[in-house]
Every structure is written in structure tokens, then in C-alpha cells.
Amino acid sequence: MRHIISQTPLRISLFGGGTDYPSYYQRKPGAVLGFTIDQYVYVSLNTVSRFFTPRLRVSYSKIEEIKSVDEIQHPSVRTCLQYKQMDLPLDIHISADLPAKTGLGSSSAFTVGFLNALYALQGTRISRELLAEEALHVEQDLIQERVGSQDQYHAAFGGVNVFEFSAEKICARPVVMRQENKRALQNHLFVFYTGLTRFAHEVLEEQLVKTDSCASDRTLERMYEMVFEAETILSKAPAAEVPELLGRLLHEGWQLKKMLSNKISNPWIDEIYERAIAAGAAGGKLCGAGGGGFLVFLIPTQAIAKVKQALSDLPEVSFHFESHGSTILYMKE
């Protein structure tokens, strides 16, 4: 019997979201800038005796007890096991530090973490790049989900990164910045929970129709440019100017993001956002596809207390950057 636990970080995407969909970057270059946080998805795998009944147990928001891989309802669990051609008796447990369907990339973090655990079960170490590529293949090609291509890379690589997308390849590089600039980003970035969860594909339907028809190209082209402007700010701006400069860019990006679909925001989210801006936040956005989940704001020092007071009805999420990506936390024969 073997017991393996993988730990895979959630992510916050700041710039370029929407340009990471294949229907866009097969035609035009895409890029995103974001980072992973010390809030995780955990996958626990236990091999069990062949006498175990049922042969497979999958525990997440519900519990599945089944006899064969093909019977598994959880699409990523079923497809990953089929893809890896693994038909061992297994007890699989999935848990997370934060709620799913909230725009922090938990679905792809699970796929990355599950594949990582399956490789560990086989006694194999996989590179970050290959882990991201295989998670992308599982989600986009095998399950055929209309998902972007950034979450898998964030989860596999960890850290603060720029990912660039084209028809030929996907490239990853860390954002190079001084420690004082990294501290300025960490100390002035605040995340609040709206309490709303949603299925990303429901929010994305209109956005992807407009992307496929090229109707959003000008908006997405500007969002692509902003990735490199943000990278320059983080790399070269004085630390004291980072919150204001990056916040203003984030505000512009949020206005553009809302143009991609009328489901990205709603009157209640707009009201929360305006409260934060009125209290002194430089800029912000909803994480992920939109429609709910977590709001992130960049707030200058002098406005932090006022913004927190203005949003006192929303739970704040404490977090730090993490830089390891998906890791094997525990392994026992």
C-alpha cells in the first residue's frame, strides 16, 4: 500500500486573462501576468488491497464508491486515470483551503495536483512544463472544456510569472523584481470574498462567442499590451510607486474585462467595487472568469484602513506569495 499527498497552489491572475484561450491565441499572441498564493488544493491517494470493496472511492463535495474507472462521475478524476491507463484500487480524497468555483483556478490546480500524485505513485518525477502541458491536454482535448491555458501553468510552476501564448508554443518566465517591489505588491494587495460561487463556463459563454467571432480583438489586444506594462512596473518602478501605478493599470484592465461579456460583473459587484475606489483603492478586479468569487484590490498605504472599513461586510483572505508550484507533500510506502 502507498499513500501520497500532493499540494497545488491557487492563483491570482492580474493581467491578460482572456488572451489565454486557444480560439484567440491561435490567431494573435496572448499573455498573462499573475502569481500563486499559499492557499492550496490537496489530493490524497491511497492504494488499497484488491479485497477492498468497492475498488474505487473518490471523496470531494460528494463521495463516489464505484467498481471501475469508467463509472467515475468526477470528469477530471475519470479522465486522468484513463489518460494514465491506471486501473488500481484507489482511495482518492480531494480538499482545498478555499471554496471551488470562485475564480482562483481550483479546477486546474486539482488536475495538475492529481496528475502529479499519479506520477509519484508510479515512482516518476515530472517537469513543471510537462505537468502543465498534460493538464492542459486533459482539460481542453480529452474533457473538451472551454477553459483558458493559464491556470495549469500557474499551478505547475508557482511564483510570479508571465506566460506567453501563441499557436506554436507556450512560454513561461518569472517576473524579475527587487525584493522591495515584491513586498510592495504583497503588502498592498488585498483580497475579499463576495460569497458568490459560479461555474466558469456559464459566465464565459458570451465572452467566448465574441472571442471566436473576433468581436473582442481590440479589447484583448490592449489587455495583452498591459501584461508587459505591468511587468515593467514591477521590475523597474520605485517600490513606493508600485501600488498606485499597478492599481491604475488594474482598474483599466477591469473596465476592459467587463466589455468582454455582460455576465462578468453585476450591480452588486459594481457597487462593492465603487465603494473600494471611493475609499481610496487604486484599482481592482474580480479573479477568474467573473460573476462572483474573490475581488482583489491594490490599495495605497494611506487608504488601506478606509477601504477595509468600506468593505467590512466582506471576509478578507489572508495570503502570501508562494513559489513552488505543485509539490508532493507526503509519500509513504
What pLDDT is attached to residue 52? Answer: 65
Closest CA to 92 of 111, 77, 80: 77
Type of residue numbered 330: Y
> Are 325 and 159 a contacting pair, CB within 8 Å?
yes
What three-state secondary structure class fits 12? strand
CA angle 305, 307, 311 (to 5 degrees): 115
- Which set of grid coordinates corresponds to residue 283? 484599482
pLDDT at 149: 97
Amino acid, res. 242: V
The residues near 275 (Cβ < 8 Å, ≥ 6 apart) are 310, 311
- Coil, strand, or helix at residue 51? coil
Could you tell me if 95 and 192 are in contact, meaning their C-beta atoms sit under 8 angstroms apart?
no
Predicted confidence at residue 124, as pLDDT, reads 92
pLDDT by 10s per residue, the chain, length 333 = 789 999 999 999 999 999 999 999 999 999 999 999 999 999 999 998 766 677 899 999 999 999 999 999 999 999 999 999 998 899 999 999 998 888 899 999 999 999 999 999 999 999 999 999 999 999 999 999 989 999 999 999 999 999 999 999 999 999 999 999 999 999 999 999 988 765 556 667 878 888 889 999 999 999 999 999 999 999 999 999 999 999 999 999 999 999 998 888 889 899 999 999 999 999 999 997 667 789 999 999 999 999 999 999 999 999 999 999 999 999 987
Q: How far apart are CA 94 and CA 113, in angstroms?
A: 10
Q: What is the three-class DSSP state of 3? A: strand
Residue 59 near residue 201, CB atoms below 8 Å: no
213 touches 156 (CB < 8 A): no
Q: Return the closest-CA partner of residue 333 out of 4, 62, 20, 107.
A: 4
Residue 160 near residue 174 (C-beta atoms within 8 A) = yes
H or E element, residue 249: helix 242-258
- Whether the CB-CB separation of 186 and 321 falls below 8 Å is answered with yes
Q: What is the pTM of this model?
A: 0.95
Q: Kind and range of the H or E element at 308?
A: helix 304-310
What residue ranges define each of the domains in the chain, with the CATH number in brackets?
3-176+321-332 (3.30.230.10), 179-317 (3.30.70.890)
Q: Are the C-beta atoms of residues 2 and 329 closer than 8 Å to each other?
A: no
Q: Which pLDDT does position 291 carry in this prediction?
A: 73
- Label residues 193-212 b or e (16+ Cβ within 10 Å = b): bbebebebeebbeebbebbe
